[in-house]
């Protein structure tokens, strides 16, 4: 059996590893157009703030070669589905194909001193530019945009973030939660801002913004050879003998919607499933709820499931401390999103321990638990660690009271 894999990101690199685990005899060929091996794209902002690029490489080209995987630093230009071949520097036959070609950045314009932030090469280039610059504009206030802005801020760059939407992190937070977070960030962020163009070290939007360079962080488009994401099933199968995983794919989520992936944690889990099945195993992908988390200026932010505008929702938001009042705890904000029957379908949290709260609610969503059940579950308590009744319990009780009205 010959397994050919296109792409060496969280999906492709992981699929190669698991294909080898389940099939020790198969010939596995891994195409990587970048040449660095498998690295963490989520860690790219840390290159700007001081990490060496080698630090974020998880599995080098030599690692794949040592484990019997033929690593090729080549780009695949064409897939012949009927003939069972791919074309890179030469034509290569396959018995099973895994497409993990990722996504390419979307830009409203192209100009001198305008950079993307999608690859390790991009991060190295931006770091070198930042070393000799004073001002930068980041277009987009999503996860990538804000993480890059923080990294630039940390090395002394005067950063302005321009966001088209009326609030930051629009795919992760409701507006009230986003507004709360934005007030805590030491960044200049301009909302409701449509960028027209950039030239002569200026960005033109509602007004002119000076910048030595511009970072575009306005989203990505699937690199699937036909401009559309590849729709895959629970086995990450697209067609007979063809699997796909990662940012080039669209998958059915827990709520029954087909969603473009665009998330490293989901891509890696898809890669595991695709690799096992391509190697002859039998594995399925649990529909994701697309849990997200980040840390901005030492503030944890996390969310899972649906936002309030995506469902006929009953919501409750609680702001309090993560420890008893006499322990000088830190402020925590938790918003629970439930349907009209009280079933939990989403959560957003800002503050220390936010990601752990989200993991807890993700489990509740998968088990279709309601607010009454969550509000009555015992939690571990000690004054130095946690309060008697935490923010999740209190927010769930708030929804319970609303349901009884």
CATH number for position 384:
3.30.390.30
- Same domain, yes or no: 64 and 198: no
Structure confidence at residue 124 (pLDDT)? 97
How high is the mean pLDDT in each 10-residue block of the chain (405 residues)?
98 98 98 97 96 97 97 96 94 98 86 92 97 96 98 98 98 98 98 91 92 94 86 97 97 96 96 98 98 98 98 97 94 98 98 97 98 95 95 98 92
In a domain, 287, yes or no: no
- Same domain, yes or no: 82 and 229: yes
In a domain, 286, yes or no: no
Q: Which of 216, 247, 269 is the last residue of a domain?
A: 216
From its phi and psi, is residue 229 left (phi > 0), alpha (psi between -120 and 50) or beta? Answer: beta
- Same domain, yes or no: 79 and 133: no
Structure confidence at residue 14 (pLDDT)? 98
- Same domain, yes or no: 111 and 160: yes
In a domain, 80, yes or no: yes
- Same domain, yes or no: 18 and 87: yes
Neighbours of 232 (CB within 10 A): 26
Torsion angles phi and psi, residue 390, rounded to 5:
-90, 180
In a domain, 210, yes or no: yes
Q: Which of 167, 198, 216 is the last residue of a domain?
A: 216
- Same domain, yes or no: 78 and 33: yes
In a domain, 265, yes or no: yes
Structure confidence at residue 24 (pLDDT)? 96
- Same domain, yes or no: 90 and 145: no
Structure confidence at residue 111 (pLDDT)? 81
In a domain, 283, yes or no: no
Total of domains in the chain: 3
- Same domain, yes or no: 188 and 314: no
Helix (H) or strand (E) holding 184: helix 175-184
- Same domain, yes or no: 127 and 185: yes
Asked if residues 39 and 81 have their Cβ atoms less than 8 Å apart, the reply is no
- Same domain, yes or no: 297 and 399: yes
CA distance linking residue 159 with residue 181, whole number of Å: 17
In a domain, 284, yes or no: no
In a domain, 386, yes or no: yes
Structure confidence at residue 373 (pLDDT)? 97
Instruction: Take residue 369 and report the two structure tokens written for it.
Output: 């638990």
Structure confidence at residue 112 (pLDDT)? 85
CA distance linking residue 207 with residue 319, whole number of Å: 36
Q: Which of 216, 234, 265 is the last residue of a domain?
A: 216
CA distance linking residue 247 with residue 142, whole number of Å: 16
- Same domain, yes or no: 299 and 389: yes
Any residues with CB less than 8 A from the CB of 148 and at least 6 apart, and which? 45, 48, 117, 126, 138, 215, 217
- Same domain, yes or no: 345 and 390: yes
CATH number at residue 143: 3.50.50.60
Q: Can you give the pTM of this predicted structure?
A: 0.94
Boundaries of domain holding 89: 2-104+220-278
Exposed e or buried b for every residue in 92-106, given b needs 16+ CB within 10 A? bebebbbbbbbbebe
From its phi and psi, is residue 44 left (phi > 0), alpha (psi between -120 and 50) or beta? Answer: alpha
CA distance linking residue 66 with residue 73, whole number of Å: 16
How long is the chain? 405
């Amino acid at each position: 059996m010959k397994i050919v894999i296109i792409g060496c990101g969280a999906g492709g690199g992981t699929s190669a590893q698991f294909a080898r685990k389940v099939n020790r005899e198969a010939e596995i060929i891994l195409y990587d157009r970048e040449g660095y091996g498998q690295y963490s794209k989520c860690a790219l902002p840390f290159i700007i703030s001081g990490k060496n690029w080698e630090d974020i490489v998880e599995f080098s080209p030599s690692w794949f070669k040592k484990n019997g995987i033929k690593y090729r630093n080549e780009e695949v230009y064409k897939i012949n589905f009927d003939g069972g071949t791919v074309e890179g520097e030469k034509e290569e036959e396959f018995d099973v194909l895994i497409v993990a070609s990722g996504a390419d950045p979307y830009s409203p314009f192209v100009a001198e001193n305008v950079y993307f932030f999608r690859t390790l090469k991009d991060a190295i280039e931006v770091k070198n530019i930042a070393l000799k610059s004073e001002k930068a504009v980041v277009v987009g206030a999503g996860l990538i945009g804000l993480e890059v802005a923080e990294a630039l801020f940390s090395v002394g760059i005067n950063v302005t973030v321009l966001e088209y939407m009326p609030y930051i992190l629009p795919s992760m937070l409701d507006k009230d939660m986003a507004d709360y977070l934005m007030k805590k960030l030491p960044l200049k962020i301009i909302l409701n801002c449509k960028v027209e163009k950039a030239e002569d070290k200026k960005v033109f939007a509602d007004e002119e913004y000076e910048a030595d360079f511009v970072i575009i962080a306005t989203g990505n488009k699937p690199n699937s050879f036909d401009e559309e994401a590849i729709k895959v099933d629970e086995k990450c199968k697209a067609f007979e003998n063809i699997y796909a995983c990662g940012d080039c794919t669209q998958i059915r989520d827990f709520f029954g919607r087909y969603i473009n992936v665009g998330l490293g944690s989901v891509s890696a889990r898809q890669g595991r499933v695709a690799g096992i099945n391509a190697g002859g195993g039998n594995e399925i992908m649990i529909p994701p709820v697309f849990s997200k988390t980040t840390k901005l200026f030492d503030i944890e932010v996390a969310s899972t499931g649906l936002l309030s505008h995506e469902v006929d929702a009953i919501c409750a938001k609680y702001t309090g401390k993560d420890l008893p009042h006499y322990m000088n705890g830190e402020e925590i904000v938790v918003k629970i999103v439930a349907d009209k029957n009280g079933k939990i379908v989403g959560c957003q949290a800002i503050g220390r321990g936010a990601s752990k709260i989200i993991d807890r609610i993700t489990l509740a969503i998968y088990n279709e638990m309601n607010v009454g059940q969550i509000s009555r579950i015992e939690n571990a308590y000690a004054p130095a660690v946690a309060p008697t009744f935490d923010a999740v319990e209190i927010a769930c009780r708030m929804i319970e009271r609303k349901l009884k009205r």
